Amino acid sequence: MLKNLLAWIGKGIAAAISLVLLYQLWIFAHVLWWIDHNPASTAFMEAGLARQQERNPDAELRHKWMPYARISIHLKRAIVAAEDARFLEHEGFDVEGIQKAVRKNLKKGRLVAGGSTITQQLAKNLFLSGERSFIRKGQEAVITLMIEATWSKRRILEVYLNVIEWGNGIYGAEAAARRYYRTSATNLDRDQAARMAAMVPNPRWYEHNRNSRTYQRRVALIKRYMAYAQVPR
């Protein structure tokens, strides 16, 4: 009886491992495909659309792809300055940034900083949910390694700029530039770029609270460091 039970447990574990491996292969296949094909949607977009359609069944997302070469250099620098100053130096994880985040969280006694790089944020946006758990963070790390191993930094930043959320139902730099400044992402100036970059940590809140002191301080800080931000050519 015990032998049969152990055999079934062993088969269950083997089946679970097989499913996990198949899921990783499914993700990796998408990562490889997106090296030179643009993702039409992401996990975050799908979740955002579902959220919008709960209130309005006819709701649609605003999203239009903009090639990297046509996105304002000001926005590229603002995003790197705001989200990942060592973007060109690390291989997916900013150890120093993570250490700072841990110290900040310990000081506050709660989770107030994440230390995630642009690649980690992209991994989460493409495949995962917004929930916080050790399992999700582990999967995020695996996807981050996949992306860093196969994509150029230019491609990582291009996809990131085109898929991140910039307000309710607004995804990507082009849709955001049209929404907030009635212009193309190509034409964003330094001030507009800094203001858009400042929204990234909490876009749905900042969409309607851009006069807040927190937002204004963040914009000023981004402007100060934009000139030093190194971005892919």
As a whole number of angstroms, the distance between CA 172 and CA 156 comes to 13
β-partners of residue 170 are 62
Give the count of beta carbons closer than 10 Å to the beta carbon of residue 99.
Answer: 11
C-alpha R_g of the chain: 20
Q: Walk along the chain (233 residues) in steps of 10 and give the mean pLDDT of each run.
A: 71 80 94 97 95 91 97 98 95 78 53 74 92 85 97 98 97 98 98 98 94 95 96 95
Q: At what angle do helices 118-127 and 73-83 cross, to 10 degrees?
A: 100
Entry pTM: 0.89
As a whole number of angstroms, the distance between CA 17 and CA 29 comes to 18
Tracing tokens 């001030």 back to the chain, one arrives at: 191
Q: In the prediction, which pLDDT does 131 show?
A: 75
The dihedral formed by the CA atoms of 221, 222, 228 and 230, expressed in degrees to the nearest 10: 150
β-partners of residue 24 are none
Q: What are phi and psi of 63, to 5 degrees?
A: -160, 130
Q: Which of 232, 233, 227, 166 is nearest to 195 (CA)?
A: 166
Amino acid, res. 147: I
